Structure 1
Amino acid sequence: MANEFVRVEIGDGSAQAPAGVATIRLDRPPMNALNTELQEQLRAAAGQVAADPSVRAVVLFGGERVFAAGADVKEFANQDHAYMARDAARLTSALDALARIPKPVIAAVTGFALGGGCELALTADFRISADDARWGQPEILLGIIPGAGGTQRLPRLIGPARAKDLIYTGRFVGAAEALEIGLVDAIAPKAEVYPTALKMAAKFAKGPALALAAAKAAVDGGLDGDLASGLRLESHLFAALFATQDRTIGMQSFLENGPGKAVFS
């Protein structure tokens, strides 16, 4: 499948494109509606950056105007129960591929992150919002519910009561409220959203890749089960890192030069 709607741009080491940082950029004007083709191209992009050892951190970006204003309602309107009973799992797994990228992922959100667009942003580890961006899960206004992770990732992030408020009412929230409830992690002027995300990603790209992957696996995996299972997962991943070169580099640097000065390979 030709990537008509999604591009992967890997940094060349310049200030505008830091080394080790890949951008997954949506490009389906005018609103980056998440039709089937775009969903599958996101899945392919997730696989590409996950498998590329030169990519150490990832930014999700919809452009300067809009992140993603939700699913393609025209496409949904033509689908019946029998079709969606077969296709719903594919939709979920397409976005889940982004959540499973074993590297830090930052969503740079401008304009709208609504419905599937909000669910797309929820797959990231961090969300940077434009100060005039609008967020929400308005599926209830169409007589349906979020179907690509919204009912699961949103309450895990902001708590069940706040998630139910957004899901039950379908209301939009501005950047300030999104920050207050924990839906976003930082706010920036629209023109600074993408550069801010790149700067954050560049810091992660200089970190210990295997330890960052283990930290992500431990946190995300622990949230899927009970505390005892999470602690067992953490212990396993913690021990495994003692077999890595980054652990050797990090500890030797600490002993010789103090904390925070290691250069990881």
Structure 2
Amino acid sequence: MSDAAVDYTQLGPSVVRITMQDKEHKNTFSDQLLVGLSDAFERVKADERCKVVILTGYGTYFASGGRKESLLQIQDRQISFTDSDIYGLALDCPVPVISAMQGHGIGGGFAMGLFSDFVILSQESIYTTNFMRYGFTPGMGATLILPKKLGFSLGEEMLLSAKTYYGRDLKERGIPFPVLPRAEVLPYAVELAETLAEKPRLSLITLKDHLVAELREELPRYIEREVAMHDKTFHQPEVRDLITSQY
């Protein structure tokens, strides 16, 4: 498992750690990472002992979003970001998911992490929804989850400006998540997971179903709108030039 793009580790009878570790591609959304994540969350669904999932990355990387090659394929109308539903994995997971974002969260990688039930950021890492840097509108459910989790003003700012923020910057802006030194992110997540795992599994599932019901209902509508915006914006010649020159 140590050579796999995604590592699945049982930390105890009720806690699973899913580690994205595609070092070759720096945790961009490679085929190996996409398949590994989907398989890992299917294992969670099938494990009746599992009560909590910790989703994390390696080193200075949490998740780095779409690969250059994939963005160009979307620009050429060969694929769509909806071909792989990784953005909804944490939201659809029956048990609570903790995103231990010890490293950089970029584009769709940051959005994916925000769909978890708990989010922990690193002071030293960068977080950005940089879709508009390349001239196309956001996807991956980012237009739903950023305003929901960060507040409308900051979420709108991040989506429109495509600026890069350090975790410490977001902490100063008052985001409602713990922002810790990188070395403390995963231990904090493990402690939180152990607290959650003290509860009955059925109770955790039932309460999560209730708390995220509106998000689960809204996400398909937002994805549909994001795809429609991509149809308008992604195929501009300027977008291809920006992806080629700035990625």
Shared fold, TM over 0.5? yes
Offset, 1:69: 2.1
Q: Distance in 1 between matches of 2:115 and 2:174?
A: 14
Matched, 1:24 2:18: yes
Offset, 1:181: 4.8
Query: Which residue does the alignment assign to 1:9?
Result: 9
Q: Which amino acid aligns with 1:20?
A: S
Deviations 1:70-128 (A, max 9, x none): 211233224444323xx33223x222122211111111112311102101211211111
Matched, 1:138 2:167: no
Q: Secondary structure at the match of 1:82?
A: coil
Greater Cα radius of gyration, structure 1 or 2: 1
Identity of aligned residues (%): 25
Q: Secondary structure at the match of 2:160?
A: helix
TM-score of the pair, normalised by structure 2: 0.79
The structure, 1 or 2, with the larger RCO (C-alpha pairs under 8 Å, 6+ apart) is 2
1:212-227 to 2 correspondences below 5 Å = 212-223=204-215
Q: Distance in 2 between matches of 1:29 and 1:225?
A: 35
Q: Distance in 2 between matches of 1:157 and 1:120?
A: 12
Query: Which residue does the alignment assign to 1:102?
Result: 94
Q: Secondary structure at the match of 2:100?
A: strand
Query: Which residue does the alignment assign to 1:89?
Result: 82
Q: Distance in 2 between matches of 1:182 and 1:39?
A: 32
Q: Distance in 1 between matches of 2:87 and 2:42?
A: 11
Distance 1:96 1:188, change over 3 A: same
Offset, 1:206: 1.3
Offset, 1:25: 0.6
Q: Distance in 1 between matches of 2:23 and 2:60?
A: 10
Query: Which residue does the alignment assign to 1:59?
Result: 54
Query: Which residue does the alignment assign to 2:36?
Result: 41
Q: State the Cα RMSD in Å.
A: 2.1
Q: Distance in 1 between matches of 2:53 and 2:141?
A: 20
Offset, 1:223: 4.3
Offset, 1:151: 1.0
Q: Are 1:7 and 1:27, in contact at CA under 8 Å, matched by a contact in 2? A: yes
1:115-130 to 2 correspondences below 5 Å = 115-130=107-122
Q: Are 2:91 and 2:216, in contact at CA under 8 Å, matched by a contact in 1? A: no
Offset, 1:50: 2.0
Q: Are 2:5 and 2:33, in contact at CA under 8 Å, matched by a contact in 1? A: yes
Query: Which residue does the alignment assign to 2:103?
Result: 111
TM-score of the pair, normalised by structure 1: 0.74
Distance 1:138 1:184, change over 3 A: farther
Distance 1:24 1:183, change over 3 A: farther
Q: Which amino acid aligns with 2:81?
A: A
Which residues of structure 1 form unaligned runs of 5+?
Answer: 14-18, 227-265
Q: Are 1:106 and 1:125, in contact at CA under 8 Å, matched by a contact in 2? A: yes
Deviations 1:11-55 (A, max 9, x none): 2x4xxxxx4110111011152111233123212211111221121
Distance 1:65 1:184, change over 3 A: farther
Figure out how many residues of one structure are paired with residues of the other and give that number. Answer: 215
Query: Which residue does the alignment assign to 2:156?
Result: 164
Query: Which residue does the alignment assign to 1:250?
Result: none
Distance 1:183 1:38, change over 3 A: farther
Distance 1:144 1:184, change over 3 A: farther
